[in-house]
Amino acid sequence: MGFVLKRVAQMVAVIIAATFLAFTAMSYLGDPLFNIVGFHASVDCDAVLAGEIEDVSGQGGTDVGDCEVVEAAREKYHLNDPLPVRYGRWVGDVVQGDLGVSFKNSMPVTTIIGNRIPKSIFLMVVAEIFALIIAVPAAIRAAYKANRVFDKSATVSSFGFISLPNFALGVILFYLFVVKWQIFPSRYEDDDLFSRLRSTVLPGLTLALPLAATYFRLLRTDLITTLQEDFVLMAKAKGLSDRWIMFRHVLRPSLFSLVTVFGLSTGGLIGGALVVEQIFVIPGLGRTFVEAVIRDDFPLVLGLVTIISSSFIAINFIVDLFYSVIDPRVSRET
């Protein structure tokens, strides 16, 4: 169990690093005060309160009273404290499950994220399932008859899907299936599971096709390599059928690259797929994130960074565990 403890410690360290970086960047690049007191935040209130500047009319109509408000806000939000102390306070709140409230509408960040994250996760799951359903059988077929017609055409089309940008693919699918044939709804609906599925097919496919192309190429190459192993020759000498050999001997040791990239892309998809969410108007995490950054919505951005980085790490942790399932030679202790 030392292994799990070590991994959890690593996880915590990475989350702290990610959030601290985000915290610092937000503090220096934006001004948290601006969201609370508006443009008054840009006035040199220290000087005003000290009486060094008397005529503040040239500074956007801020007077001493406004500066008192600013000062009160600074006190309230502990903005006079040094950065590490503020970060520490934020971490203390997070540990208690409090991610603060959004500057935009004073809704708790946990509520906003809790509202959006199921849509992103659902989209991610659908996309990954599509990608695997397409890629795995295709790779097996292509590797089994390498350099034949199917292999060659699948390889060429996979290059096509890898190089086609997401927005182009999304727009094409949207035009065909929503505008032209009207098979799928143009608005995102999730009243029940069925409508949610219906709304997720196209965005899922948009994400899945390039992923499937990548998975296909990785798995095909690994399968072809494994097929040249001595133990495959041995399996043939045992009189096992090609199908048996492929599924029971070759597939499992060929999964390494696929699983690695699967972990990375799944982790990436948790953070939302901005372009696809935009095209198909899905209120997922990706769009929320961009809006929050643009609006300097401090608590929301930090909350999102926390959630996304922890999911990313958690997924890749599972992937690492999976390596030792695939191959018993991979020791869990290393």
Partner 1 sequence: MTGPLVSIEDLHVSFLTEQGSVRAVDGVSFDLEPGKSIGIVGESGSGKSVTAKTLMNLLPSYAQVKGSMKFDGRDLREIARKKEKHFWGVEMTMIFQDPMTSLNPVKRIGEQIAESLRVHMNRSRSEAMTEAGDLLEQVGIPEPAKRLRQYPHELSGGLRQRVVIAIALACGPRLLIADEPTTALDVTVQKHILDLLDDLRKERGMSMILITHDLGVVKGRTDEIMVMYGGRTMEEAPTRALFECDGLHPYTEALNATIPKIDTPSHTRLVPIPGKPPEVIGRIEGCPFAPRCRYSTSECLTEMPPLVEQEQGHFCACHNPVGTPEGIKAREANQNTGHTPAGLDMKEFEAFAVHAETGEI
Q: Which residues bind partner 1 (CB under 8 A)?
A: 229-231, 233-241, 244, 248-249, 252-253, 326-329
- The secondary structure of residue 108, as a DSSP letter, is B
Name every residue whose Cβ is closer than 8 Å to that of residue 212 and which is 6 or more positions away in sequence.
130, 131, 132, 134, 135, 138, 158, 161
As measured in angstroms, the least distance from the Cβ of 173 to partner 1 is 39
Q: Decide whether 314 or 326 has the Cβ nearer to partner 1.
A: 326
As measured in angstroms, the least distance from the Cβ of 152 to partner 1 is 17
As measured in angstroms, the least distance from the Cβ of 145 to partner 1 is 11
> What whole-number distance in Å separates Cα of residue 166 and Cα of residue 171?
8
User: Alpha helix (H) ranges present in the chain?
Assistant: 2-29, 32-37, 45-49, 64-76, 83-95, 109-144, 149-163, 166-173, 193-227, 230-237, 242-245, 256-270, 274-279, 285-294, 298-326
As measured in angstroms, the least distance from the Cβ of 223 to partner 1 is 14
Q: Is 101 helix (H, G, I), strand (E, B) or coil?
A: strand
Closest to 304 in 3D by CA, of 210, 295, 318 = 295
Q: Decide whether 189 or 327 has the Cβ nearer to partner 1.
A: 327
Please state the φ and ψ torsions of residue 251, each to the nearest 5 degrees: -60, -50
* Residues forming a β-bridge with 119: none
CA torsion sign, 32 to 35 to 37 to 41?
A: positive
Q: Decide whether 152 or 238 has the Cβ nearer to partner 1.
A: 238
Q: Decide whether 125 or 240 has the Cβ nearer to partner 1.
A: 240
CA torsion sign, 315 to 316 to 317 to 318?
A: positive
Q: Show contacts of 31-39: CB within 8 Å, 24+ apart.
A: 31/296, 32/77, 32/79, 32/296, 32/298, 33/70, 33/73, 33/74, 33/77, 33/79, 34/296, 35/103, 35/295, 35/296, 35/297, 35/298, 36/73, 36/77, 36/103, 37/66, 37/69, 37/70, 37/73
Record the tokens describing residue 268, joined without a space.
Answer: 């990436």
As measured in angstroms, the least distance from the Cβ of 180 to partner 1 is 46
As measured in angstroms, the least distance from the Cβ of 243 to partner 1 is 11
As measured in angstroms, the least distance from the Cβ of 236 to partner 1 is 6
Closest to 265 in 3D by CA, of 158, 188, 162, 189 = 162
Q: Decide whether 6 or 252 has the Cβ nearer to partner 1.
A: 252
As measured in angstroms, the least distance from the Cβ of 229 to partner 1 is 6
Q: Decide whether 240 or 274 has the Cβ nearer to partner 1.
A: 240
As measured in angstroms, the least distance from the Cβ of 240 to partner 1 is 6
Q: Decide whether 218 or 313 has the Cβ nearer to partner 1.
A: 218
Record the tokens describing residue 109, joined without a space.
Answer: 């960040």
